[in-house]
Amino acid sequence: MSSAQEPHTSDTNLVADDGAGAPGGASSEGVEPDGAGLGRAGLHRIADTGAVAQLLPPYAALKLLNRLDNDRARFSLCALAVTAWSAWAYLRLRPPPGIALANGHLRGYHTWAFAHLAYSDIPWLYQEHGFFTHGLPYIRVPVEYPVITGIFTWITAWFPGVQGYFMATAVAEWLLALGVLWLLYKLVPRHYYLFALSPLLLVYLMLNWDILGIFLMLLAYKLYTDERWTASGAVFSLGVFAKLFPIFYLPFIAAKLWRDRSIQPLKKMAISFTVVSIVVNAPFMIFGFHNWQTFYSFNATRGGKGLFIAAVDAVTLMIVLTALALLFRNVLRGGSVPRAAAFSFAVFLMVNKVFSPQYMLWLLVFALVAEWPAWTAWVLAGGGIADYLNAFTFLHFTWSPVLHKVPARLGPTGRWYQAELYDLGITARYLAIAVSTIGAVVCARRGSAAPKQRSLVSPAKQRNSAHVKPPSPTPHH
């Protein structure tokens, strides 16, 4: 896949902290730090900002949220939206009876799935890796995901047949998505609704198992903001070994704790992370090392081999490490942990040689916790939908049902699509990431990032907050 230039960063406080004691780097001004709602007045200002706001697909949903009088009702409506996306995704992706056979196999799955834009790793890998045999993952069955995801797939595979397995996985992922919504509600009460309204849930929630890693990452970060250091380190380990991306939080959390001279909490998190990592990986490394390392070898060779690819990998690593170093120093100087994590993850996506479409869902969550301006969520949603349509339309036009893969020589339709449209889709993806990231950087440097653009707390809560005794000094999160 294509790569792009690293967004410009500087030594200035482009990821400044947003207030003492506010979870997720949120401003403490006018916001209850633990679960305060969107606020009717704030939603009214969002929904009535003029013609630009009315161009957004969720405009009507924002209007409906605005009519609700309390936080519980608004959260319930957001949970209903997540449920609706989940049900739609399940019905859209469920293999029909003619494709899903009773013996656990799939017949003509790729041809059907690509033609209907309904591909999912969940049913395909059920057949590809023989999950229906109930062999222990990594010991009997190779899995191209880290161990926590492998264990998750093994548990859900006990439900009968590919249809039962897919339904069990879908229900579990729906519950995990509701858990993500709740954690975002606690961490970023101003912006959590953007997750519920995002159409990225329709196309990426059940594409594979990434929502498990997202949930564990947010749970670990919530535990960190609650100063439950040991539990946070342990859950961060589970998140990293469900999907690697939660690791982007860890260097900046370490920088924050070091900056605050919180050495003991840093030690507790490091020890619990290390212990849990050993516990969850050691049995599979000992009894099935070849299958256990499938995830690492598979990802190391994705995108090709050879001297040129090795050079690309080296340049990518250098850019990512440079961004991490700059942002690490920024946090040491007072920067925000979630913003540093979001910016570093965006840089990684821009330059990494391999890009899977569901990474957009990850970036959306990173951006929400970092409280990027609300418009960036819609830009990412547009880029993510375009990337999904582009990727699977290309596969539809190029897939060979005879060879069961994309052939070395494409047919006329495949050649036309690749020459005329495919690169436009790739450009839309990277443009969405670049515009969102640069926009968030500019807003942060100008001191006008999302938390300070508008108050999403009702005037009554703002008046009440003026009479609340300020919290005692605690480390920023």
Closest CA to 34 of 26, 44, 43, 46: 26
pLDDT of 127-139, one tens digit each? 888 888 888 888 8
Tell me how far apart the terminal alpha carbons of the chain are, to the nearest angstrom.
35
Q: Are 96 and 112 in contact (CB under 8 A)?
A: yes
Closest CA to 161 of 228, 109, 105, 216: 105
Distances (CA, A) of 436 to 80, 197, 298, 336, 369: 27, 18, 30, 18, 14
Q: Please give the Cα distance from 456 to 43 (Å, whole number).
A: 6
Mean pLDDT to the nearest integer, 212-240: 97
Q: Please give the Cα distance from 37 to 421 (Å, whole number).
A: 43
Which residues does 6 contact at the CB level (< 8 Å), separation at least 6?
A: 319, 322, 323, 347, 350, 351
Q: Are 42 and 455 in contact (CB under 8 A)?
A: yes
Which residues does 261 contact at the CB level (< 8 Å), separation at least 6?
A: none
pLDDT of 77-125, one tens digit each? 999 999 999 999 999 999 998 888 766 788 889 889 999 999 999 999 8
Closest CA to 380 of 439, 333, 338: 439
- The pLDDT of residue 402: 67
| Three-state DSSP state, 179 | helix
| Three-state DSSP state, 309 | helix
Q: Please give the Cα distance from 38 to 40 (Å, whole number).
A: 7
- The pLDDT of residue 389: 94
Identify the weakest region by mean pLDDT among 50-59, 108-117, 280-289, 402-411. Answer: 50-59
| Three-state DSSP state, 320 | helix
| Three-state DSSP state, 447 | coil
pLDDT of 401-443, one tens digit each? 766 777 767 888 888 888 889 999 999 999 999 999 999 999 8
Cα 390 → chain centroid = 20
Residue-range domain boundaries for the chain: 23-465
- The pLDDT of residue 406: 75
Mean pLDDT to the nearest integer, 167-190: 96
Q: Are 343 and 25 in contact (CB under 8 A)?
A: no
Q: Please give the Cα distance from 355 to 210 (Å, whole number).
A: 14
pLDDT at 248 over 60: yes
Alpha helices, DSSP H only, in 70-160? 71-93, 109-115, 121-128, 147-156
Q: Please give the Cα distance from 45 to 454 (Å, whole number).
A: 8
- pTM for the model: 0.81
